[in-house]
Structure 1
Amino acid sequence: MAEAFLQLLLDNLTSFIHGKLVLFFGFEKEFEKLSSMFSTIQAVLEDAQEKQLKDKTIENWLQKLNGAAYEVDDILDECKSEATRFEQSRLGFYHPGIITFGHKIGKRMKEIMEKVDLIAEERKKFHFLEKIADRQASTRETGFVLTEPGVYGRDKEQDEMVKILINNVNVAEELPVFPIIDMGGLGKTTLAQMIFNDERVTEHFNPKVWVCVSDDFDEKRLIRTIVGNIERRSLDVEDLASFQKKLQELLTGKRYLLVLDDVWNDDQEKWAKLRAVLKVGARGASVLETTRLEKVGSIMGTLEPYHLSSLSQHYGLLLFMQRAFGQQREINSNLVAVGKEIVKKCGGVPLATKTLGGILRFKREESEWEHVRDNEIWNLPQDESSILPALRLSYHHLPLNLRQCFAYCAVFPKDTKMEKDNLITLWMAHGFLLSKGNLELEDVGNEVWKELYMRSFFQEVVVDEFGKTYFKMHDLIHNLATSLISANTSSSNFRQVRVGEENNIWSIGFYKTVSSYSPSLLKMFVSLRVLDMSYSRVIQLSSSIGNLIHLRLLNLSSTRIRSLPKRLC
C-alpha cells in the first residue's frame, strides 16, 4: 500500500507546491526537496514490496517510509486547515497567529526532512531495482494443452459454451466475440482449454488458434503469433502490412476459432484495429476471450459474457483430495475432515483449492493439516503459495489512484455487505479521491467504484428499493486487500478508529477497533481522519475531541449522543 499512498502524497505535494498556500506559509524549497526524495524512493517501491515478504529489515524500512509519508500528509493537511481558519478570521491573512504557526511547522519540517533523508539513504543498502509499475514481470504465459490431471465441476459450463460457439451464426459484418469473465483463480484459462480441445469444436472449426495475450496487446505481435500458429513457421517479413495481408489470406472464408487468453487491454482502438483484420472469416468464425475485467469484455464482446461460478463444496473437495492424495487408496478419515474445513476456506476458488491440496500432498500428520487450516493463506511461504501472486496480478494492473481505494476495503470484516455511497464517503474523508475536472468528488468516487467492480474486485451487487447499492468482496480478494496493509503502524499514524462494543482490539494498517471510548483515548490518535462510534454505547463526547484537527468524518449514528461539545458546534 506504500506505493499507492506515496503516489497520492506526491500528487498532493505537487498541488501544494504550485498553489498559493506554499507562498503564504513559505517552505517552498523544503516541500520541493521532500517531493524529490519521495519520487526517488518511489522508483524502488515495486521491488521493495516484492522482497519484504522474505526480508524483515525491508519490511521495517517500508514501515518507516509509511510513517514518514503519513507525517508529511498531516503537515499538508494542517497547512490547508489553518489557512482556511486564518482566511475566515476578521484579520484574514494578517492574523498574528500565522507567525506562530509558521515557526511550529518549520520545526516539524526540519525533523521530517531529516527523517526522510535517512530513509532515502537507507534504501541504498538493499540494492533495489528501480522500476515503476513494471507489470511485464508479473505476466504469465498459457498454452492450449490441458495439463490438469482432473477438472471438476466444469462439465456443464463446457457443454453450454461449446453449443453456443457451434450454433452461433454471425451476421456477415460482425465478428462474434465470446468473453469469459471473472476474478483470478476461478479457472477461466482451464475452461477455455477444455473448450479448445473439445472434439465438437475440433470438428466444427478450422483452423483453431490459441494466443496468450497478457499485457502486450500489440497488433503486430498478435498477428505474427496467429500466423505462426497456423503455418507452424515464422515469416521472413517484418512490416505490419505484410503480416495483415498474410493473416487475411489464411483466414478468408474459413470458419476459424481464435482464443485470446488473459486479455488486459482496455483500449478500444487497439481492438478495433485487430478486429478489422480478423473480419474475413466465414459465417460462424468466432473469437473466445478470457479476462478478469468487465470493461475488456464490454469493449470486445459481442455475445453475452460468461461468468464462472465458484466450485461447489462437493467438487472443491474432489479437487482437493485429488491434489492431496493422488491415487492413494487408504485415506485417514481425520485428514478428510480437516480437508473439508480447508476447502470451505478456499471459497470455491480452484486455484486456492489446488494450491493448498498440493502443499499437503506429502504431509500425513494431522497437526500439519490443522496448521494449514488455521493459518491465513497469505502467511504461507511464498514458494508454497501461488494464490497471492496470481491475485496480486490484478492489483498491479490497477491505476495507482485506484490501489489505495481498493486496499482500504480491508477495514471491513470478511463477508460484509458494504454500501457504495458510504464507502465513497470514507474514501473522501481519507483524501483518497483527487479532483477531476469539474466533477464533484462523489462522482469521482462513483467512477472509482465502477472501475473496481468492472475489474472483478467486487461481487454480489444488489440495489435495494431505495436505490442504494450494496456489494461484497470474495474472501480471497479481501485477503489480498488485507495483505497490502501493514499491521505494524504506530498509534500516531492510525487514520480511522472504530469504537466497538466487544472487548477486542484489532488493528490493520491505519485502521483500529477499540473496545471503549474515553477522552484519553483520543490523545493516542492524533492523525485521525475518521472516528466511527455508530451503534456504540457512548452517551457523551468530551471537548478534547476538538483537538482532532485532521478529523473529517465523525459517525455518531445509532448512538445516544444528543449534543456536541461547544468546540465542534
Structure 2
Amino acid sequence: MADAILSGVAVEIIKKLGSGVLQETRLRWGVREELEKLRSKVSTIQAVLLDAEQQYSQSHQVKVWVDSLKEAFYDADDLLDEFSTDVLLKQMMTGNKMLKEVRLFFSSSNPFVYGLKMAHKIEKVRSKLDEIAEHKKFHLDKLPEKTFPMNGEREQTHSSLPEAVVGREDDKKKIIDFLLSSSHGENVSIISIVGIGGLGKTTLAQFAYNDETVKSNFELKIWVCISENFDVKIIVEKILESLDGEKPKNLEMNTLKDLLHEKINGKKYLLVLDDLWNEDSEKWFHLKDLLVGGRRGSKIIVTTRLKNVAEMIGSTKTHDLQGLLVDDSWSLFANMAFKQGEVISLDHERIGKEIVAKYAGVPLAIRVIGRLLYFKNTIDEWQHFKEKELPNMNEEGNSIIQTLKLSYNHLPSHLKCCFAYCRLFPKDCKINIPYLVNIWVAQGFIKSSNSEQSLQDRGLKYFKDLSWRSFFQEVEEDALGNLWSCKMHDLMHDLAAQVAGDEIILLNSDVKRVEKNTRYLSIDFEVEL
C-alpha cells in the first residue's frame, strides 16, 4: 500500500503545515524556520511521487526508496499532529489560572524549552528526509511517462475455445440470442460482458464467437485483444490483421481508415473487443466512428472488468457474469484434477469440495488448483495441500492473484488506499457502506474538492468507482434507496491483503502478530487468538 498512500500523506503534511493552528501561533526559537524547511522538502519530494508510484512494482530500487520515505513521512505526520495538539491545548488553557499553575510543573510548559525541543524534533525528521532524498539515484522526474509496462500484464487472448468449459449454458444462450437478434435501433449494437478477473468473460465470448449458428449469421468475424493499450491506430491494425491474416506496415491513420471501410462497409460483422480497460470516452468514440459502416445487424462483444466502461461505450445490453454454481464448480474442478474416466474416492471428493468452496465459483482459480492437484495422487498429498499450500496460493507471482492485481494496478492512488484498507474486514463480512466511508474520511483518504460536495458524498463516489470495477459485490440499498451494505469476494480480500502487506493487519487465526511497520489494525473477535 506504500505506493498508493504516500502521495496522500505528503498532501496531508503540506496541508497541516499551512493550517491556521500553526500559522497563527507565535512560533519562536527556530520552530517556524524548521517548519518552512520541512514544507519545502516535502513539496520537492512530492513532485516525483507520481513517477515513483507508477514504478513501485517494477523496480526494487524504487520500492526500497519509497518504503523508506513512507516511514519518514509518517514520522513527520505524527510529529505535526503532536505539535498541533499541544498548540490547541495551550490555547484552551490560556486565561485559566488553575490550569496555568498545573502547566508550570511540566518542562514542556516553558516556552523556551518547548520551542527548542520541537525545533530539534522537526529538524531531525527533515534531516531524515534529506538523507533519503539524496539516495534517489534513478531520477524519477526525468523519466518519460509510462517508461515501465504495467506489472503483470495479461497475455494476448485468442478466439479458440479452452479444452474444458462447464456451467455457462445459460450465459451462452443470452449472448447468442443477442447476437442473432435482428435490430436494436442501430446498424451496429454492443453487448458488454462484465465481471471480475478470472470469472470467464473471455471464455464466454469465445463460446459465442465459435457457435455454428453465429458463424453462419455474420459475413465477417473479428477478434481483437485490447488489454491496457487503447490506441485507435493499433486497434485498427489488429482488426485488419484479423481479416487479412497480415498486419499492415507503416501506414498512416487515414490510409488505415480507408482500408477498414473497404473491408466492413455494407457487411454484417461480429467484432470481439476483449479485455477493454479504456475509460476515455473521446478515444472510444473515435474508434466507434470508424466501425459504424457495418450492415444492419452487426454486433460488437466487449469484455471488461469495469461497469463504468460498459456504460461509457453505450452498451445496448450489459451481461453481468456471476460465479459458477456449486455443482458446476465441482464439475470443472473434477475435469482438471482427475484423469478421464478415473474413479473418484469419497475422501478425494470431500477434500476437493472443501478446496473448491474457497474460490466461490471463479473458473480461473478452480482450473489452476485442479491442475496442480492432477499431479498429486494420494489423500495425504491432497490434505497437505489444503492445509499447508492452499493458504499461500494467492501470494505474489501466482497467476490467480496476478490476474486480479491488474484491476488494482489500474486504480488511481486515492482508490488504492481505500481498497487496501478493506483488508481490516474479515472474509465474507457484510460491510456497512456508510460506516466504511466514514472510516475513509477519518483516515484522510478522501480528497477534498473545490465544490460544495461533502467528504462523505465524495467517499460514496469512491465506493461506487470501486464497485463499478468489481472490487465489491452484493451491494444492497436501504428502504430509501441509499447504499447500505456490500461484501468482498474472497479473492478480492486476498488481493487486499497482498497489496496492504504488513502495514494493514487483521488479527485472526491466520495472522497472530503485529509487525513493526503495522499502521492499521483490527481484530476478528469471532476467532480465538
Q: 8 Å contact 1:219–1:274 — kept in the other structure?
A: yes
Match of 2:80 among 67, 70, 76: 76
Partner of 2:413: 400
Matched, 1:251 2:264: yes
Match of 2:381 among 351, 368, 373: 368
SS of equivalent residue, structure 2 residue 215: helix
Match of 2:497 among 482, 492, 508: 482
Matched, 1:510 2:519: yes
Letter paired with 2:303: T
Letter paired with 2:188: L
Aligned pair in 2 of structure 1 residues 108, 131: CA closer, same or farther (>3 Å)? farther
Q: 8 Å contact 1:21–1:83 — kept in the other structure?
A: yes
Aligned pair in 2 of structure 1 residues 201, 71: CA closer, same or farther (>3 Å)? same
What number of residue pairs does the alignment pair up? Answer: 498
Distance of 1:318 and 1:131 partners within structure 2: 49
Matched, 1:7 2:11: no
Partner of 2:464: 450
Matched, 1:29 2:37: yes
Partner of 2:444: 431
- Report the CA distance between 1:444 and its aligned residue: 1.4
Distance of 1:336 and 1:324 partners within structure 2: 11
- Report the CA distance between 1:77 and its aligned residue: 3.1
Q: CA RMSD in A?
A: 3.7
- Report the CA distance between 1:66 and its aligned residue: 4.5
TM-score by length of 2: 0.83
SS of equivalent residue, structure 2 residue 278: coil
Match of 2:346 among 300, 322, 333: 333
TM-score by length of 1: 0.77
Letter paired with 1:136: M
Counting only pairs closer than 5 Å after superposition, residues 511-550 of structure 1 correspond to structure 2 as 511-513=520-522
Aligned pair in 2 of structure 1 residues 376, 281: CA closer, same or farther (>3 Å)? same
Matched, 1:152 2:166: yes
Q: 8 Å contact 1:505–1:512 — kept in the other structure?
A: no
Distance of 1:119 and 1:363 partners within structure 2: 49
Distance of 1:317 and 1:122 partners within structure 2: 53
**Over residues 204-239 of structure 1, what are the superposed CA-to-partner deviations in whole Å (9 max), with x where a residue is unaligned?**
112111111111111111112112211222335622
Distance of 2:318 and 2:285 partners within structure 1: 19
Aligned pair in 2 of structure 1 residues 37, 237: CA closer, same or farther (>3 Å)? closer
Matched, 1:321 2:334: yes
Match of 2:422 among 409, 428, 436: 409
Aligned pair in 2 of structure 1 residues 480, 166: CA closer, same or farther (>3 Å)? same
**Over residues 481-520 of structure 1, what are the superposed CA-to-partner deviations in whole Å (9 max), with x where a residue is unaligned?**
1112223x5xxxx8x999x9x9x9675943334699xxxx
- Report the CA distance between 1:65 and its aligned residue: 5.1
SS of equivalent residue, structure 1 residue 360: helix
Matched, 1:464 2:478: yes
Matched, 1:347 2:360: yes
Aligned pair in 2 of structure 1 residues 69, 208: CA closer, same or farther (>3 Å)? same
SS of equivalent residue, structure 1 residue 217: coil
SS of equivalent residue, structure 2 residue 374: coil
SS of equivalent residue, structure 2 residue 485: strand
Aligned pair in 2 of structure 1 residues 300, 352: CA closer, same or farther (>3 Å)? same
Distance of 1:180 and 1:16 partners within structure 2: 45
- Report the CA distance between 1:81 and its aligned residue: 4.4
Q: Which has the higher contact order (CA 8 A, sep 6+)?
A: 2
Question: Mean alpha-carbon deviation: is it higher for 390-399 or for 319-328?
Answer: 319-328
Q: 8 Å contact 1:170–1:283 — kept in the other structure?
A: no
Aligned pair in 2 of structure 1 residues 164, 400: CA closer, same or farther (>3 Å)? same
Aligned pair in 2 of structure 1 residues 144, 61: CA closer, same or farther (>3 Å)? closer
- Report the CA distance between 1:383 and its aligned residue: 8.3
Letter paired with 1:452: L
Aligned pair in 2 of structure 1 residues 106, 8: CA closer, same or farther (>3 Å)? same
Q: Which runs of 5+ in 1 are unaligned?
A: 517-534, 536-569
Q: 8 Å contact 1:316–1:343 — kept in the other structure?
A: yes
Matched, 1:302 2:311: no
Counting only pairs closer than 5 Å after superposition, residues 255-274 of structure 1 correspond to structure 2 as 255-274=268-287
Counting only pairs closer than 5 Å after superposition, residues 486-501 of structure 1 correspond to structure 2 as 486-487=501-502
SS of equivalent residue, structure 2 residue 429: coil
Question: Mean alpha-carbon deviation: is it higher for 70-79 or for 257-266?
Answer: 70-79
Distance of 2:171 and 2:506 partners within structure 1: 45
Distance of 2:475 and 2:262 partners within structure 1: 46
- Report the CA distance between 1:118 and its aligned residue: 5.8
Letter paired with 1:4: A
Letter paired with 1:71: D
Distance of 1:390 and 1:318 partners within structure 2: 23
- Report the CA distance between 1:185 and its aligned residue: 1.0
Q: 8 Å contact 1:335–1:366 — kept in the other structure?
A: yes
- Report the CA distance between 1:200 and its aligned residue: 1.2
Aligned pair in 2 of structure 1 residues 514, 259: CA closer, same or farther (>3 Å)? closer
- Report the CA distance between 1:278 and its aligned residue: 0.7
Identity of counterpart residues, as a percentage?
Answer: 32
Partner of 2:488: 473
- Report the CA distance between 1:171 and its aligned residue: 2.2
Q: 8 Å contact 1:258–1:286 — kept in the other structure?
A: yes
- Report the CA distance between 1:11 and its aligned residue: 2.2
Letter paired with 1:166: L
Letter paired with 1:179: S
Matched, 1:359 2:408: no
- Report the CA distance between 1:411 and its aligned residue: 0.7
Q: 8 Å contact 1:142–1:261 — kept in the other structure?
A: no
Q: 8 Å contact 2:424–2:506 — kept in the other structure?
A: no
Distance of 2:360 and 2:59 partners within structure 1: 28
SS of equivalent residue, structure 1 residue 447: helix
Distance of 2:77 and 2:479 partners within structure 1: 40
**Over residues 231-285 of structure 1, what are the superposed CA-to-partner deviations in whole Å (9 max), with x where a residue is unaligned?**
2223356221221122112111111011111001111111111111111111100
SS of equivalent residue, structure 1 residue 136: coil
Q: Which runs of 5+ in 2 are unaligned?
A: 26-31, 96-102, 104-108
Distance of 1:383 and 1:400 partners within structure 2: 20
Q: 8 Å contact 1:237–1:243 — kept in the other structure?
A: no
Letter paired with 2:385: V
